[in-house]
Amino acid sequence: MKIIEKYILGDVKKPIIFGVSLFTFIFLIEIIVSLMENIIVKGISLIDVLRILSFYLPPILSQTIPMGVFLGVMITFSKFTRTSEVTAMSSIGMSLKDILKPIIILASVITLFIFFLQESIIPRSFRKLEEISIKIAYENPVFQLKERILIDEVEEYNLYIDNIERKTDEANNVLIFQKDDKSNYPTILLGNKAYWKDVNMVLEESKFYTFNQDGTLKIEGEFSQKKIPLSSYFQEMNIEVKDIEAMPIKKLFNSLKEKTEKEKIPFLVEINRKIAIPLSTIVLAILGVVLSVGHHRSGKGTSFGISLGIIFTYIVCLNVGMVMANKGVVSPYVGVWLPNLLLVSGTLLIYRRKSGGAR
């Protein structure tokens, strides 16, 4: 590799890291706010919150890396133009094609990395997210239990909770129907208060009522404390990743079998999205160079503004296309690939205008 190519790659590295970090942080803001609420209000440990955040990163990075590459390239080559380094490159015989070569190589490597994220890391991240959610539920079942809703998903019990004190995680006015296969009527448990220990609900100051086969009261009593196991409720939570966004491309293709044409649409949209977005990295990197070369007045602010405008337009077009494809208005191929085709067309047009020499 030529010294000048190494110089370009060395200079573009930090701006790309900055761009990826910036867009990733923007995407993470809503998640961070939600997690802060979980720390303050629901009492989830900081370690669990950081783990959750780390599992959110891979799917976000698969979207923000192309954006960061575009911004980083624009910042770098705007600086090269302002400092006349592009002019110096031209003076030693480098064409625009030569200048683009190291950027295309770098963008191609990054594209392969995004595919690796999608096919290997992201499915694992989604699985880990669900696993840690179940862990939190086991440690504090109150997150899964809602007020004034009859819960009938527990194997031996039906639960009704009137009120939950979120600060203390204590429940007030708890009604429990304990199922009995030998009787037509369940045992009724009434508790004034309840708290959680491991995966057990512990009732305090409670009464119980059992009934005969004809529905008449059989036994009435009181007890100071009774444990109600909820482990079966949480064991039934399925940790299998079902969201198609978490599936690798191979699994998405396999899922197309034995599906109707209408059922195939979301899978085809996702398959095309998982190919189109990584490949957009190469086009955006080239576009960043050809847009920046020759504009001597463009600074970081200008580069940032142009980058945001183009990226925003691309995201809007992609999302609109995906929505239309999912609704069957357009083909999944048209809906997903049209924004990329527009990027390619615009990039080729600008490249042809400037390919006479980097000025």
Could you state, in order of their start, the residue ranges of all structural domains in the chain? 3-139+241-354, 154-235
Find the length of the chain. Answer: 359
Half-sphere exposure of 120 (CA within 13 A, CB side): 6
pLDDT tens digits for range 38-86: 666 556 677 877 888 888 899 999 999 999 999 999 999 988 888 888 8
176: three-class secondary structure by DSSP: strand
Q: Give CA–CA dist 328/315, Å, rounded.
A: 20
Query: Tens digit of pLDDT per residue, the chain (359 long)?
Result: 588 888 899 999 999 999 999 999 998 888 888 777 666 655 667 787 788 888 889 999 999 999 999 999 999 998 888 888 888 888 888 888 889 999 999 999 999 999 999 999 999 888 888 777 766 666 655 555 666 777 765 667 777 888 877 666 678 888 888 877 777 888 888 888 887 776 677 888 888 888 888 888 888 888 888 777 765 444 444 444 457 888 889 889 888 887 888 889 999 999 999 999 999 999 999 999 998 886 555 555 666 777 788 989 999 999 999 999 999 899 999 999 999 999 999 999 988 887 754 44
The pLDDT score that the predictor gives to residue 237 is: 43
Separation in Å, CA 316 to CA 6, 12, 270, 334, 338: 35, 27, 16, 15, 12
pTM of the model: 0.72
Sole residue written with tokens 């957009």: 280
Q: Tokens at residue 142, please? A: 């109150």
- Where b means 16+ CB within 10 Å and e means fewer, 277-301 reads bbbbbbbbbbbbbbbbbbbeebeee
CB count in 10 Å sphere of residue 206: 21
For residue 319, the model assigns a pLDDT of: 93
What is the three-class DSSP state of 53?
helix
CB 24: neighbour CB atoms within 10 A? 18
> What's the confidence (pLDDT) of residue 345?
94
Give CA 337 to chain center in angstroms.
22
The answer to whether 16 touches 69, Cβ cutoff 8 Å, is: yes
Strand partners, 178: 157, 187
Helix (H) or strand (E) holding 192: strand 187-197
